[in-house]
Amino acid sequence: MNSDKIKTGAKGAPVRSLFYAMGYTKEEIDRPIIGVVNAKNELIPGHMMLDRVAAAAKRGVIIGGGTPVEFPAIGICDGIAMGHVGMKFPLASRELICDSIEAMARGHQLDGLVLIPNCDKIVPGMLMAAARLNIPAVVVSGGPMRPGYLNGRTLDFNSVMESVGSFQNGDITAEDLEDVAENCCPGCGSCSGLFTANSMNSLTEVLGMGLPFNGTALADTGERIRLAKHAGMQVMEMLRRDIKPRDILTREAFENAITVDMAMAGSTNTVLHLPAIAHEAGIDLELDIFDEISERTPNLCKLSPSGKHHMDQLGMAGGIPALMNELTKLDLIHKDCITVTGKTIGENIEHHPVLDNEIIRPVSDPYRNRGGLAILRGNLAPDGAVVKESAVAPEMLEHRGPAVIFDSEEEAVAAIWGKKIKKGDVIVIRYEGPKGGPGMREMLSPTSSIAGMGLDKDVALITDGRFSGASRGASIGHVSPEAMAGGLIGLLKDGDMIHINIPERSLEVELSDEEIEKRRAAYVKPEPKEKTGYLSRYAKLVTSANTGAVLSAD
């Protein structure tokens, strides 16, 4: 055991003395020391109740014969950070979470980990740490919240974001807006649609790093607490059997995750996080693999924001195991991948049929014959761009329109609210990429405002930033190279004609090579937006969105 290096024999006496000071007994010190990483805080609804999950996980570790030691991880609420300078920090915090867990685990020579996240960047940050450390680890998330209801209408967090646009458009009153705000998030948990948090929590179980139903067991249920206890017990079994994260996080496991992502039309942010986790596991997960898998994977689910269903309904339909089981009918799942259960994916899912074919459609009757996400390329995005194709109105799958240029999200939102955007326009928001933002802000405010004003079938938006998992419409993000790295998006001018063809996977600006070179010669790179502090350091090290926005080792 790692901890034996620091706690046994005469040289371990000082360490034992410090454990004795905290009240640990000799019997507890002699057992494997398991870190329980609790991202609980009072700023994120999905994390507010993680103490309950951590307490259950610690009991599971004790049942399994280990000694749990709890320590915290930070977490930023994307919803609270949305639409202002705070949104520069969530993606950048992913690296802080990973680094801090590494520091704690290696600094104290822990034998294993139970990782307890729930929301957007905390989940991939913890998975990255597990892959980097490669000691037995199980992820158990906090679980999704239930959807809200108002006057017979089902609501979620995206409902209030889009209602802001409706209010700005004069379609609803301030009282109507407040009614939605009070009812759309009825209790704690990760927001109830298939946004980034629930996409990543579901893919955690697909990767094999979480127990079955990690993605769908609701936050306020006994099922979630039982899951946490089993996670604590299972990390001890992994330790006994010497099963480590890199045994689980194989190329085939990531292909499974992408396949399920496409089948359920998950958040575009998964295209950032899966390559970053793979990078820590020593696997190069190229961007084109997302499109290759999308081409052969049917879209079987339409959860909010792509459709009307929510995570509670997905759970009642059989959850992720049932969805994966359905996909095996087309031989799309690698069933022999090992998981934290000690069993293979195939063994985990074989007794879990689909229980509701309206929520999880059969492979013989999919919503679409190809997956929910698409990778676009062209002169405007030679290294790729990402769109949630399943959430785009049919009439916007191909669109040609004049560019309306903004150098920040705030400028774009002001123009949208000021009704300066016309039908047919292509909004371009640049200098919001990993380096340019820095931090690659989510653009839920502009996309939800466009949808709330009823323009999502008439207006496209492209950015070198990214979108919330709650975004819908012709919203194309992750444009690479970004403007700050010399991408063509930084050379665009108002009125340039942009041609988007999602079925053909194309994103082009109609400019001659001569005009592009003329503009490039006259281009003056702007000053960095952040010149001090963590974001300044982050901007110097972060790589492109098409590589997962990981930090360079150079």
- For 98-250, where are the E strands, in sequence order? 112-116, 137-139, 148-150, 153-155
Residue with tokens 């499109």: 291
Residues 6+ apart with CB under 8 A from 311: 144, 192, 193, 194, 198, 215, 216, 218, 303
The count of C-alpha atoms lying within 13 angstroms of the C-alpha of 137, restricted to the half-sphere facing its C-beta, is 30
In the numeric block, which tokens belong to residue 351?
A: 């007794």
Cα–Cα dist 209/152, whole Å:
38
Q: Active-site residue among 202, 445, 468, 471?
A: 468
Cα–Cα dist 58/63, whole Å:
9
What backbone phi and psi angles, to 5 degrees, belong to 193?
-85, 180
* Pairing label, strands 33-38, 148-150: unpaired
Strand partners for 472: none
Cα–Cα dist 525/451, whole Å:
33
Cα–Cα dist 468/549, whole Å:
16
With vertex at residue 140, the alpha carbon angle to CA 6 and CA 97, rounded to the nearest 5 degrees, is: 60
Other Cβ atoms within 10 Å of 183 Cβ, number: 17
- C-alpha torsion sign, points 368, 370, 373, 375: negative
Run of H or E including 52: helix 50-63
Q: Annotated catalytic, 468?
A: yes
Sheet holding 67-72, edge to edge: 67-72, 33-38, 112-116, 137-139
CA dihedral (439, 445, 448, 452) in degrees, to 10, reads: -170
Cα–Cα dist 550/92, whole Å:
9
What backbone phi and psi angles, to 5 degrees, belong to 114?
-110, 120
Tell me the catalytic residues: 468
